[in-house]
Structure 1
Amino acid sequence: MRLNSIGSLAAAFALLSPAWATGHSRIPSRPDVVPGPYNAGWAMPPSPPRDEGRYCYVRSGCHKKRDDAPHIVRALKKCNNGGTVVFDKSYVIGSPLDLRFLRHIDVVITGDIAFDDSDVYYWNNNSIKYKFQNQSVFWMLGGEDVNIYGDLTLEEGKSVIDGRGQAYWEEIVTNTALFRPMLFAFDGMKGATMSNLRMRNPPHWFNIIANSSDIIISNMDLRAQSLNDVKIANSDGWDTYRSDRVVIQDSYILNTDDCVSFKPNSTNVVVQNLECVGSHGISVGSLGQYANETDIVENLHVYNVSMADASDFARIKVWPGVHTRFQTHLAGGGGSGRVRNVTYDLLRSANNDRAITITQCYGQSNKTLCNEFPANLTIEDITIKNVWGTTSAKLDPQAGTLVCSAPDRCRNIRVENITVTVPSGKPPVYECRNMDNGLLQLTCTEESSGDRDTEQG
């Protein structure tokens, strides 16, 4: 844990006294969220202390069928520009929230926030939509100098944001076309921290950081868990999109899709000190989905990550150079761009199907087609090093794939100090195509025992 309380004892008493005076619960001090050991190559913009005594406690409705969204908007507007908004009760949000007006404000969540799941088709029609991959979101926060935090020392059920995803996962069994909202979005945010919060059961992805810069995420606990063995779909932990200078660190993620995914035009991003369970890896992409668009992902550093029971670990996924249909709401290929200057370092693998995956045939099972229409993106200056642990029995003895669709699409991809073992005890092998094998400290074969991707994005 890297969070430390800030301020003097006198400042702490000044912060706590309004809660005592109004009968509200204790307000935790704003954590000092510091990147470490790596940062994204910049100094985080300063966030000055908020006005003492300027607190807005969000009201909570008392009816079973209610919508606390209007109370939330009023509190945020009242304490915008220098105040602190406190969620210390139980809240239900029943309508979309576009909150991209925030300036110099702290948001403290010690209670619990849930999104109304009584009508999944209401959110299908009314959530805030993104054109990118047909995504949508319950609420969207943007602005400048915002700190959102909770208190993980509180019992389970407190400092929590809950998407109540079970109803959506059950519905998509018979209607795969249902639009399911993401749980949370930073969009158009400059200078923000999010820390010490629990997130539970998003209908779709947990988080997207879009069109934003100077963001630190730290000490988060994310869990997607279904009842009755219903399949959880597309529960990405964090996705970055058109964003620069982002750090995601010191967190636990239990999900069924990418633990972290770097979507188009993610630059200068650090991911460090994570524990991921059940995911599809720390993934660059997918990229090249949209023809006539250029996707650039560069300057990424992934450090000290544990991955267990996942399909992949260190992963780069690119669409082929021709349009292909993959899933409902998901088709593409033919876009251009580059992946450059990416480092994966100090990775512990436990029972993952593949330790390393590079593909330029994402979303397409016909590899002949991918060879005929190579990806339009290049992948260069990649280092994957210091990886140890085990893979699952699924592809044994294969432990990964490193496949480019043409010889000129990949340059300077280096793999060093990989000590991953397979369950059979045989020497692990990797499918390698159109690579400079002299830079790969692996046993390479051109034979594949892989399977087609089944995820979205």
Structure 2
Amino acid sequence: MKLTSTLLQTAGLLLSLGLTTEARSVQKPDPVQKPSPAAKGYSRTELCKPHHPFKPLPSSPPRTKTCHVSTYGDERDDSKFILSALKECNNGGKVVFDADKFYTIGTALDMTFLKHVDLDIQGYIKFTNDTDYWQENGFFQTYQNATTFFQLGGEDVNIYGNGTIDGNGQAWYDLYEIDDLILRPILMGIIGLNGGTIGPINLRYSPQWYHFVANSSDLLFDQINIGGLSNNNITASNTDGWDIYRSSNIVIQNSVIVNGDDCVSFKPNTTDVIVQNLSCNGSHGISVGSLGQYEGEVDIVENIYVYNITMLNAENGARIKVWPGVASELSADLQGGGGSGSVKNITYDGMYVYNVDYPIDVTQCYGQDNLTLCNDYPSSLTIADVYFKNIHGTSSGAYNPDVGTIVCSSPDVCSNIYTSDISLTNPTGGDFNVFSCANVNETLLATINCTST
């Protein structure tokens, strides 16, 4: 499923205004700005609506001092001013990026020392497009060769202000077209952060993923506006909205995402996550995985609740993707297979889809077109207690008549996968709710019509 940048941008604008050309049963993201996370009486947990986090989120104590970040204002590197303000106002302060100011970052900043501090971003922050520097100096996070512009971590850090952070991605989109082994920086490297709220904030033109949330816990992402497509015919690839890795007790809500890959991805060892009230356009869906990529590694994803999602012009909607039981290659910079682990207690509840190739997609043959190889080397990663319910709309017709697929590698690894209240059509008419199914208990798949693969 492919759309032009103009169409995607138009649809994204409609979404940001809470509008679509289709009636839908889901709610639009809440546009009301919230108080500062350190304001008196602020309850981070109570702001998570309608579903609260699996465990209460800690509150922030009041901030008692304010530091304003200086800037050259002429595209020279302002990193030293940012670092100075963070150190001065760390442990109980607020760092302000003023609304009428433009800030340039040309240095990789390690901000994992932060504690009890707010970043009030009202202005515009832009990273330089020195691709040689960032490939050499960005923070290498190891997993899937992830590299970040910065590392932000510590305890009780809030980022808000409704300003903009711009990754200056076009140079990277063009370079990746020439060399798909380059290390493209991720815009927001949330590494080892325990406690905090991020949003409202606008994120633009990330070279790769927009968020990499690793080794973190007790976080609320609220009112994040993500967008930024290529300005030429080269695709902005792998621009996931969120990739969550080895993290727990996370809430993502009330956000608009226009991108070119997963809207949200639950990477290995992610647990206790709520995702609610999102509008996703042009994505690869809200995905569990990919999992089982690395031989000898055990990947666990448990306790995920996805609620009230609009998914437009996407390859997938609700998705679980697992690599086969032997190494395979999806692309030159992404290979894997042979890992183990488990997926358990996953719920997709309430999703409106329009022009989506596979509104529901469960596969244990990710990254491999050779089905014989997947059958000969089935994944051992187990999938259990998965619920797809209240999912409505129209596919793109890419796999007509199928509007979904639920295919496990063997009947031994999948159990208790349920569907209910599914109403999915394809644009050419004919039968609806037609799915490819294999190695799954079809008696639990209510309101869909399974055909054998």
Output the TM-score relative to the length of structure 1: 0.89
Matched, 1:405 2:418: no
Matched, 1:436 2:420: no
**Could you tell me how far apart the structure 2 residues matched to 1:33 and 1:200 are?**
29
TM-fit CA distance, 1:5: 2.9
TM-fit CA distance, 1:76: 0.3
Residue in 2 aligned with 1:84? 94
Q: Which amino acid aligns with 1:443?
A: N
- Contact 2:37–2:197, Cα closer than 8 Å, also in 1: no
Q: Which amino acid aligns with 1:298?
A: E
Matched, 1:180 2:184: yes
TM-fit CA distance, 1:32: 9.2
Residue in 2 aligned with 1:216? 220
TM-fit CA distance, 1:215: 0.3
TM-fit CA distance, 1:180: 0.4
Output aligned runs, 1:6-405, within 5 Å.
34-51=47-64, 54-64=65-75, 66-88=76-98, 89-117=101-129, 119-151=130-162, 159-405=163-409
Q: Which amino acid aligns with 1:90?
A: F
Other structure's SS at 2:156 match:
strand
- Contact 2:97–2:123, Cα closer than 8 Å, also in 1: yes
Q: Which amino acid aligns with 1:436?
A: N
List per-residue Cα deviations over 1:324-374 (Å, max 9, x = no partner): 122122111111100000000011011101110000011111111111111
Change (3 A) 1:195 1:32: farther
- Contact 2:96–2:121, Cα closer than 8 Å, also in 1: yes
- Contact 1:5–1:30, Cα closer than 8 Å, also in 2: no
Other structure's SS at 1:390 match:
strand
Residue in 1 aligned with 2:35? 5
**Could you tell me how far apart the structure 1 residues matched to 2:363 and 2:38 are?**
52
User: CA-atom RMSD, angstroms?
Assistant: 1.9
**Could you tell me how far apart the structure 2 residues matched to 1:178 and 1:419 are?**
42
Change (3 A) 1:307 1:7: closer
Higher deviation after alignment, 119-128 or 366-375: 119-128
Q: Which runs of 5+ in 2 are unaligned?
A: 1-29
Aligned pair count? 419
List per-residue Cα deviations over 1:85-117 (Å, max 9, x = no partner): 001121111111110000000110000101001
List per-residue Cα deviations over 1:166-196 (Å, max 9, x = no partner): 1110111111111100000111111010011
Q: Which amino acid aligns with 2:54?
A: G
The share of aligned pairs that are identical, in percent, is 47
Other structure's SS at 2:67 match:
strand
Residue in 1 aligned with 2:14? none
Other structure's SS at 1:364 match:
coil
**Could you tell me how far apart the structure 2 residues matched to 1:140 and 1:373 are?**
38
- Contact 1:6–1:32, Cα closer than 8 Å, also in 2: no
- Contact 2:411–2:439, Cα closer than 8 Å, also in 1: yes
Change (3 A) 1:217 1:373: same
TM-fit CA distance, 1:31: 9.2
**Could you tell me how far apart the structure 2 residues matched to 1:205 and 1:186 are?**
12
Residue in 2 aligned with 1:455? none
Change (3 A) 1:137 1:368: same
List per-residue Cα deviations over 1:97-138 (Å, max 9, x = no partner): 110000000110000101001x21221121100110011000
**Could you tell me how far apart the structure 1 residues matched to 2:97 and 2:36 are?**
21
Q: Which amino acid aligns with 2:118?
A: D
List per-residue Cα deviations over 1:11-56 (Å, max 9, x = no partner): 8xxxxxxxxxxxxxxxxx99997111112221111211111xx111
**Could you tell me how far apart the structure 2 residues matched to 1:179 and 1:436 are?**
42
Q: Which runs of 5+ in 1 are unaligned?
A: 12-28, 152-158, 448-457
- Contact 1:306–1:347, Cα closer than 8 Å, also in 2: yes
Change (3 A) 1:6 1:166: closer
Q: Which amino acid aligns with 2:445?
A: L
Output the TM-score relative to the length of structure 2: 0.90
Change (3 A) 1:424 1:7: closer
Change (3 A) 1:45 1:8: closer
Residue in 2 aligned with 1:445? 451
Residue in 1 aligned with 2:18? none
Which one has more relative contact order, counting CA pairs under 8 Å at least 6 apart? 2
**Could you tell me how far apart the structure 2 residues matched to 1:174 and 1:55 are?**
45
Change (3 A) 1:111 1:35: same
Other structure's SS at 2:199 match:
strand
Residue in 2 aligned with 1:155? none
TM-fit CA distance, 1:8: 13
**Could you tell me how far apart the structure 2 residues matched to 1:8 and 1:96 are?**
28
**Could you tell me how far apart the structure 2 residues matched to 1:63 and 1:256 are?**
31
Q: Which amino acid aligns with 1:225?
A: L
- Contact 1:3–1:34, Cα closer than 8 Å, also in 2: no
Other structure's SS at 1:236 match:
coil
